[in-house]
Amino acid sequence: MTTASAVSERGDIEDLSPNSAEIDCPSTSARVEESNKYIPKDSIETEDGINETGQLDHEVGGDTIEEPKSKMEFNSFEEVMTYYKQYAKNIGFGVMTRRTEKGDDGTVRYATLGCARGGKARNRTLNVARPRPTGKTECKSHINILKVDGKYHLTTVNNTHNHGLSPKKSRFFRCNREVSDSVKRVLDTNDLAGIRMNKSFGSLVVGVGGFENLPFLEKDCRNYIDKARHLRLGAGGAGALREYFERMQYKNPGFFASMDLDDDGRLKNVFWADPRSRAAYDSFGDVVTFDTTYLTNRYGMPFAPFVGVNHHGQSTLLGAGLISTEDTATFVWLFKTWLQCMDGIAPRAIITDQDRAMKNAIAIVFPQSRHRFCLWHILKKVPEKLSSYSAYKSGMKNALMKCVYDTQNVAEFESAWEQLISTYKLEENAWLKSLYTEREHWVPAFLKDTFWAGMSTTQRSESMNAFFDGYVHAKTNLKEFVDQFDNALKKKIENENNADFHSFSVTIPCISRSPIEKKFQELYTNAKFREVQRELQCLIDLAPELLKRDGGVKTYLVEDEVHVEDFTKLVTYSVDFSDVDTAANCSCGLFQMRGILCRHILVVFKCNGIKALPKQYILDRWRKDIKRRYTLINSSYDQGAQRADANRYSTLLNICYKMITHAAGSKKHTEDATQKLYSMIELYSDNQEPPSRTCTGSNVVPSIPDVSTCAGSDKVLSPLIVRGKGRPPSLRRASTMEKEIRKVRAKAKNATVKGKRKQRDGGDTPLPDTCRNLFGPSDKDTCDVGLSQLVEESSILEKCRTQRQGSMIGSQEMVCFPLDGSQPVDGSQPVDGG
């Protein structure tokens, strides 16, 4: 075979120089040897100038590919394709199939393979000022293949190109890019694990030692994953979601799902809960948080999870839903469905935001449950509602915080609130009025009689965002959203199992010789025992004083230092202690609200010589020695995305890893393993069975009984796009400048549409030759329309800018800017106007 290593030729070879530009003349690879003798020995010409031949030889790898010639013979069409693609890669051009004809037996009878830059360029964009790039140059290089007596012969060969060639860039051609099966396995695994594509591709680049060693690009990997997701998820709408629920209920009857449809069969709301979550509700269903502000999906449906707190203080999922609207009727449906899922047992307490529809629905469905607003959401609105007052930073904000945090009972709160309103003249503030009306739902002084499982205000909102971070992403379809939710749930269960392991295998040393601390160490999980120790550490600074004695009940005053950010303040708490049953009650309410004994009760126990911990202060929900029923339930996750041979692949891969570890330590063993592996590949390739394409979780589920919770067997339509709360952006009041510019753009758009409108006789209205009249005076020219539009918009902007400057000068004396940095107010109004 002769080597066709040169890639181009110019008519006058003598004029070549190191500074030569891109090749414009035809290049003929047939005249390789003749052209090479005129080129310097250490260089070769490409479309980018002159590159080193050392680089080219390294890229080609020293292989010699014979140049295509007429009457060459091949055994199969695949052999022809492989040969011509390899030849094109070494020379520096891409290959495309221009034409194929098949015979009666289904095999290729005739075909034409040519340069990928052949054919005419088609400008399919209407914007002539920004045409789309094209690689077509009408290159005539091609080969014709004809099947004769079972053999494939080259009948016509044309090796002449009318463009430059670059072997170094051959890997970028589409025909030379291919993602292997092994790489696809890695991409699938990483995608299911939630690893982003840029990270996966980066690991592949590092593994092969550089981008140039990969036979594909990052966008090829992205295209494969997009296709794989589509195959895994099917349509991804309501139909796929329903089939997923049916499949899960078929695997485990304890899986609960319900879909709410409208009269047209379109999905409105959906709720689901796995068996483990339903069983966990028996242990941790006393306090539940509910919120719809975490995530949405492609349809804009808010995600509505029910969340509890487990024995480690971690958030645990107790069911989830997707809703179409946030009104009272929707929340009533969701709460009733969740109550049905939990066997009609309502929670003792529930935490939500201030949503009026949620409050109404809770009063209807959970009339006996204690409803609490999230204090974090309320205090987040304080700057927005009160920062316009001049006294906001000079005392008003601190007074409000004292009302919330420093009042230990209802009487103290009422007194402090009345003083706040009268001092700063806030009687007419509507927001504060509404807060006071609903004070029993958010003020800590009103909530100390209810157990809240330690779910603090900030923890409630931040824990769930951290729970789903990295797993569930917005703008996904319904089925993909639920799949990502399953991945997050798996991680959450793994975190709980890890915490269980540490609580049983690791013991936190006691910091004192107190038998009470020793008892908590034996019974509580490590996370909760840490909270107990934080209270015990402060006992040394406390000195309780006996205030009074009423029969067998003693009342103590305990002065304590409370640290708030960088400040420390003294607060006095009262503790009632009974000598009869060793019961204690503190005004701080820590045990009632969080289930952890406070330092004030512990120091009173110490004063009264209490050595044994009373049983009423040991809560079962924090204990580590109790076997809970939900831990015995294995959650049945949907594994429908995996192919049937995935387990066999993983088994063989692990065996290969062991073999490689032993073989790589010796050159002799490496050569022997390489030889045997190639022999095995050849053996198994000859006896290859068709790959299994059956997915265990495909959209067709055999022999699955009807599921009543999925609303019958009719087709379920995907939901409509949901509009969130608040005023839509499209309804925002537009300025005069915006209105004028919209008119100009609408006028230009109508002018363009008229040029494309079809005539009534079926013919097309002829368009002007905009490419030739790009700068001409024709008023039909599209570019002139765009240019006039820009000129008109500029004049509007200048006019509005002049008007605005004049109005600002005229009204400048009417604007008053407070010195404290708050919002400017009208000079005619009082600065502190209530």
572 pLDDT exceeds 70?
yes
- Which residues, 6 or more positions from 554, have their beta carbon under 8 angstroms from its beta carbon? 546, 548, 576, 577, 578, 579, 608
pLDDT tens profile 470-490: 445 555 677 777 777 787 788
- Tokens matching residue 40: 């310097």
What is the C-alpha to C-alpha distance for residues 419 and 541, in angstroms, rounded to an integer?
33
Average the pLDDT over 271-298 and give the result: 84
DSSP per residue, 221-273 = HHHHHHHHHHHHHTT-SHHHHHHHHHHHHHH-TT-EEEEEE-TTSBEEEEEEE
Q: What does the alpha-carbon distance between residue 153 and residue 435 come to, in Å, rounded to a whole number? A: 88
Residue 596 has pLDDT above 80, yes or no: yes
Residues 6+ apart with CB under 8 A from 730: none
Average pLDDT (148-176) is 90
Could you report the per-residue pLDDT of 327-338, keeping only the tens digit for each?
999 999 999 999
Alpha helices in 551-704 (DSSP H): 590-594, 599-607, 646-663, 667-686
pLDDT single digits (tens) 299-325: 677 888 899 999 999 888 899 888 888
Q: Are the C-beta atoms of residues 597 and 524 closer than 8 Å to each other? A: no
Residue scoring higher pLDDT (695 or 409): 409
Query: Tokens 């157990």 label which residue?
Result: 451
192 falls in which pLDDT band (50, 70, 90)? confident
Beta bridge partners of 95: 115
pLDDT value, residue 766: 43
pLDDT at 352 over 60: yes
285 pLDDT above the threshold of 80? yes
Confidence of residue 369 (pLDDT cuts 50, 70, 90): very high
Is the model's pLDDT at 250 over the cut of 70? Answer: yes
Residue 820 scores a pLDDT above 50: no
- Better-scored residue on pLDDT, 2 or 457: 457
Selection from 2-16, 554-568, 793-807 with the highest mean pLDDT: 554-568
Residue of higher predicted confidence among 750 and 227 = 227
Percent of the chain with pLDDT over 90: 31
> Taking 90 as the threshold, does the pLDDT of residue 577 lie above it?
yes
Q: Tell me: pLDDT of 416 over 70.
A: yes
Does the structure show a pLDDT above 80 at 274? yes
In sign, the C-alpha dihedral spanning 156, 157, 162, 167 is: positive
Rounded to whole angstroms, the Cα distance separating 462 from 540 reads 33
Residues 6+ apart with CB under 8 A from 76: 152
Whether the pLDDT of residue 514 is over 60: the answer is yes
What is the pLDDT at residue 42?
36
Q: 510 with 517: CB under 8 angstroms?
A: yes
Residue 572 has which token pair? 């006095």
Pair 372, 350: CB distance under 8 Å: yes
Residue 151: per-residue pLDDT: 92
525 pLDDT above the threshold of 70: yes
Place of tokens 């693609």: 85
Chain segment 62-118, per-residue pLDDT in tens: 457 889 999 899 999 999 999 999 999 999 999 999 999 998 888 999 999 999 999
For the ranges 151-155, 725-729, 753-757, the maximum mean pLDDT occurs at 151-155
What does pLDDT average to over the chain?
A: 75
Residue 774 Cα to chain centre, angstroms = 45
Give the pLDDT confidence score for residue 33 in this predicted structure.
36
Lowest mean pLDDT among 408-422, 511-525, 774-788: 774-788
Q: pLDDT confidence of 56, banded at 50, 70, 90?
A: very low
CA distance 516 to 333: 47
Check residue 798 and give left, alpha or beta (phi > 0: left; psi -120 to 50: alpha).
alpha
For the ranges 95-104, 128-137, 578-587, the lowest mean pLDDT is seen at 128-137
Write out the two tokens for 90: 């070494």
Question: pLDDT category, 794, cuts 50, 70, 90?
Answer: low
The amino acid at 654: N
Is a pLDDT exceeding 90 seen at residue 829? no
Distance CA 597, CA 586 (A): 9
Residue type, 724: G
Going by the DSSP 8-state scheme, the letter that residue 11 receives in this structure is S
- Say which residue the tokens 């009609």 belong to: 344
The gap between the terminal CA atoms of the chain, to the nearest Å, is: 96
- Highest-pLDDT range among 33-42, 398-407, 646-655: 398-407
